[in-house]
Amino acid sequence: MKTLGDPTYKSIANLMHATIGLSFTDSKKALVASRLSTRMQQLGLKSFDDYYALIYGGPDDEEFQVAVDLLTTNETYFFRERRHFNLLEEELRHSRPQRLKVWSAASSYGDEAYSTAMLLSDLQRQGCIGQDWSILGTDISDRVLQGAVEAIYPETRLREVSDEHLKRYCLRGEGEAQGLVQINDSIKSHVRFGQLNLCQDIEPLGPFDVIFLRNVLIYFDNQTKRQVIDRVLSQLRVGGLFFIGMAEGRIQCDTPMQSLEPGAFRKLAAKSGQA
């Protein structure tokens, strides 16, 4: 494996931090080197400096996206951390909204967005919510977003999906497509995807009634985390639900929030005098 010198490591780490908020301390150097070196071999590059030159332009450089995918994990699956979906269901059965806007703010391949769509479609069929509901999924990675739009998944990713949901909302592949599952248009039509960097200013997208920001904060340092959380929460209506990963702990932010259960919060009205 080629050697990753400290100055080049610092340049890569600074670039990733400045552009998309990823935080790499010195202890991550070996990990970064090993993840990028296979890619450098594929490209026939001789040094990490050559690789840095390829990604230097940030998100506008094609190779930058590849580097981000190598340095982060896109791991996700349907109905991950089911307690959050149960809480959302309970809330909606009680509040019975006619319109509903949901944002999956680090959607990866769309598993979270389509899980939510299955739940909302059920609730609509049962007359608990109106038919005007939509889900926006966003991510920094082009590659995962293409997968999300395609909506074809290996069966294992739907291991938490009930048989009833599989029958109602999915098509199982046969022959060459054996082992794959496609999401039906009936719920796909409520879901759209777009690229969005959580570490940059966001144009107004909301207000949303529900926002998922799960299992992405782990990549950010404390200051970036706080900025990202407040930025995302500015798009949530007062009273709306906010979810982070169940293992991601407490949230530090300026927006007043009520904690409901691990990783689940409700946005409160700002006290007079507060922004």
Ligand X SMILES: C[S@@+](CC[C@H](N)C(=O)[O-])C[C@H]1O[C@@H](n2cnc3c(N)ncnc32)[C@H](O)[C@@H]1O
| Residues forming the site for ligand X (CB under 6 A) | 20-21, 72-76, 80, 106, 108, 112, 139-141, 144, 197-199, 214-216, 219, 245
Q: CB neighbours (10 Å) of residue 197?
A: 16
Q: 84: closest CA among 269, 227, 266, 267?
A: 266
Tokens representing 61 are 């450089």
Is 35 annotated in the active site? yes
3-state secondary structure of 99: strand
Is 159 annotated in the active site? no
The dihedral sign for the CA sequence 153, 154, 158, 163: positive
Rounded to a whole number of angstroms, the minimum distance from the CB of residue 216 to ligand X is 4
The catalytically annotated residue of 80, 111, 139, 214 is 139
Cβ closest to ligand X, residue 33 vs residue 67: 67
The H or E element spanning position 68 is: helix 62-71
Residue at shortest CB range from ligand X:
76
Residue the block writes with tokens 């107004």: 204
Rounded to a whole number of angstroms, the minimum distance from the CB of residue 245 to ligand X is 6
Cβ closest to ligand X, residue 19 vs residue 45: 19
Cβ closest to ligand X, residue 50 vs residue 230: 230
The catalytically annotated residue of 35, 143, 226, 266 is 35
Residue the block writes with tokens 């109602």: 168
End-to-end Cα separation, the chain, in angstroms: 51
Rounded to a whole number of angstroms, the minimum distance from the CB of residue 23 to ligand X is 10
Cβ closest to ligand X, residue 33 vs residue 68: 68
* Angle ∠(158,101,180) on CA atoms, nearest 5: 20
Rounded to a whole number of angstroms, the minimum distance from the CB of residue 141 to ligand X is 4
Q: Which residues are catalytic?
A: 35, 139
